Amino acid sequence: MDETIVTLYQRINKLWRIFATAFCFSLFGLGGLTLTFIIFPLLTFSIKEVSQRELQVQKIIQRAFSLFCDTMRFLGALDYRIEGAEKLQLDKNCLLIANHPSLIDYVLIASRLKQCDCLVKAAIWHNPFMKGVVKSAGYIPNNGAQELIEHCAKRLNDGNVLLIFPEGTRTTPGKHSVLQRGAAQIAIKTATDIRMIHIHVSPLF
């Protein structure tokens, strides 16, 4: 009898987690559209200076992502623990280098930083849920252009932190990671400090 109850609980828990995860991803998409078409356009009219507007956008992203992470935890879609977040919050003129095992690595990191530039793959700029967000935040497209390093150097010289996932895609479990050269080239040519971030996911997400 006890085993039957445990099995039933496991099934109910699994179904709830599937529902909670689907709800959270739907919420994420709706939030992205709301920010893109309502919140950020209002900032465009109220804050004319580009760098100030981008900083304000990044602060809004931080608060929105923090709320989203709290919602995922409250609904039981996942649980998480961030160690050393206070170090990230003190960093200036710094490259944040992270592995990329899940879909929400950027969300978790950005939820702790009021200012965080990000080097994003070009495909994100064609994603209807993310395009407006990354553009309004002033994120840097990783399009391989020669001016990429100069663009990154300018942000770093302004005291910003820049998040990069050097694998260029999500980490594949059990497979040797191949790092792109962009992060190393930026670090060397700008003589910028590096903060290493290690993300561990269990089970795979």
pLDDT in tens, 9-63: 888 888 999 999 999 999 999 998 999 899 999 998 889 899 999 999 999 999 9
Is 62 contained in some domain?
Answer: yes
For residue 203, being part of any structural domain is answered with: no
Residue ranges in the chain whose pLDDT is less than 70: 1-3, 6, 144-146, 205
Tally of domains in the chain? 1
Identify the domain containing residue 7 by its residue range.
2-197
pTM for the complete prediction?
0.89
Residue 40 lies inside a defined structural domain of this protein: yes
Three-class SS of the chain: CHHHHHHHHHHHHHHHHHHHHHHHHHHHHHHHHHHHHHHHHHHHHHCCCHHHHHHHHHHHHHHHHHHHHHHHHHHCCCCCCCCCHHHHHHCCCEEEEECCCCCCHHHHHHCCCCCCEEEEEHHHHHCCCCHHHHHHCCCEEECCCCHHHHHHHHHHHCCCEEEECCCCCCCCCCCCCCCCCHHHHHHHHHCCEEEEECCCCCCCC
Q: What is the pLDDT of residue 60?
A: 96
Inside any domain, residue 81: yes
Q: Decide if 124 is inside a domain.
A: yes
Question: 49 lies in a domain?
Answer: yes
- Quick check: is 82 in a domain? yes
